[in-house]
Structure 1
Amino acid sequence: MRLKFVTAALAASLLLMGCQARSETSYEPETVTVPKAVTVPERLIVDLQQDFGLTEHQAAGIAGNLAHESGNFTMLKQIGGSCFGYSQWCGSRKKAFDRFASRNGGPTSYAANYGFLARELSSAEYEAMLERIRREAEVDGSTLIFMKEFLRPSARTANLSRRIQFAETYLAGDFDGAACLSRVATTGRNGPAPC
C-alpha cells in the first residue's frame, strides 16, 4: 500500500516537472513546444495598430523607419553620437526619454521605447501627422510621412528606400535579424540581441 502511494506521489511530481508516467516504473519526458520568439517590430506593429488605429501597412511604415534608425532594433545607441533608442532621440527629446526610461524599465526596454514613442505620438504636435498617415493607402506614403515629420533625419542619413524595404520585409512576415523582445542579452553596449 505504501509503495503505491510513493509511486503515485513520484508520478505526480514528475508530471509537474514536465515528465509523463508511461508505466509504474518508467518515465519519459513530455513533448514541450517552445513558443516562437517575438521580435520588436512584430510587437511594435501590433501595438501601433491597436493604440493608434493604424492599418498593418501604416504601422509597418513606422516600424520600418525605426528599424532603419536603430539597426533593426539591435543598435539603440547612435554610432559616433549621443542619440539613443528606437527613434534615436537626441537633445531635449533624449533627456525626456532618459527620464521616462528611468521609470519604465530602462533605456533598452520595449516598455520605455514604445511608451515614450506612444507618448510623443499622442501629443498635439503629431496629431495632424497621424491623420495623414491614416489616410495613406500604401506603405511608401506612411513611411515617408513618418520619416519627414517625426524623425526629420538629415538628407545624408534619410535613405527612404531602406526604410521602405524594412517595412515591406515586415509586411511579408520576415523579421530575421530584428531584436528579440524575450532576450536580455545585448550585442555589446548598443542594444538588444537579434532573435
Structure 2
Amino acid sequence: MTAEKGGWIAIVVSVIAISVSGLELFYSQLRGPNIFLAVGHDVLITKTTSLGPRIGVICSFVNEGARQTIITNATLDVDSPKITLPLGMLGESLGGWEENGGVFKSFPTKYNIAAPIPVKGHDEAAAIFWFIPASSFDFTAGRHQFILRAISQDGAWERHFDLEIAPTDITNIGKSPYADHPISVVEQN
C-alpha cells in the first residue's frame, strides 16, 4: 500500500510541476501583447487660430505580454463637446531649457508626423501624442472626461482620465494662442 501511495504522490507532484512549467512558458514566451497604458501628470492644451485646441497627452505603454506589438494609431474621445480627435503628431519632447552664460532660454517643442511605436514583449515605450481636431470647438470650464485609445494590429487599449479645467485656464488659453497650457490630470483609470 505504501508503494501505491508513493506513486500517487509522485504523479500529483509531476502534474503540478508540468502545470507550473506550462504557465511559465505561456507568460514568458507565448502570451500575446498586453499593453498597460498610462497618462502623464499633465495634459497640454494649445489654442490654434482656425481649429479647436490641440491636445498633447504624455503616454507610457507597458507591455506585460511576451510578444511585441506596434502602436500604429490613437484617438482621443472628449465628453464635452462630444468629439473624437485623431492623432496628428508625435512629440519627442515638450521643449526644454538651455543655459547660456547663466541665462536660461527655452526652446520649442518638436513635432513629428505620427509614426508607429514598437513595444517589445515585457518592455515599455513612451510618446507624446498630439491630437488635432478636424473642426473648431472650445472647452468650457469644469470637469471633462477623456478616453485615450491606442491601436495596434493586435488590438486596442484604453485609458480613461479626467481634467478639471478652471475658468482661469480658459482665459489663459484664449489670451495666448499657440502656447502650451498644462492642465493636471485629476483622475485616471
Q: TM-score, normalised by structure 1?
A: 0.27
Q: TM-score, normalised by structure 2?
A: 0.28
Q: Which has the higher strand share?
A: 2
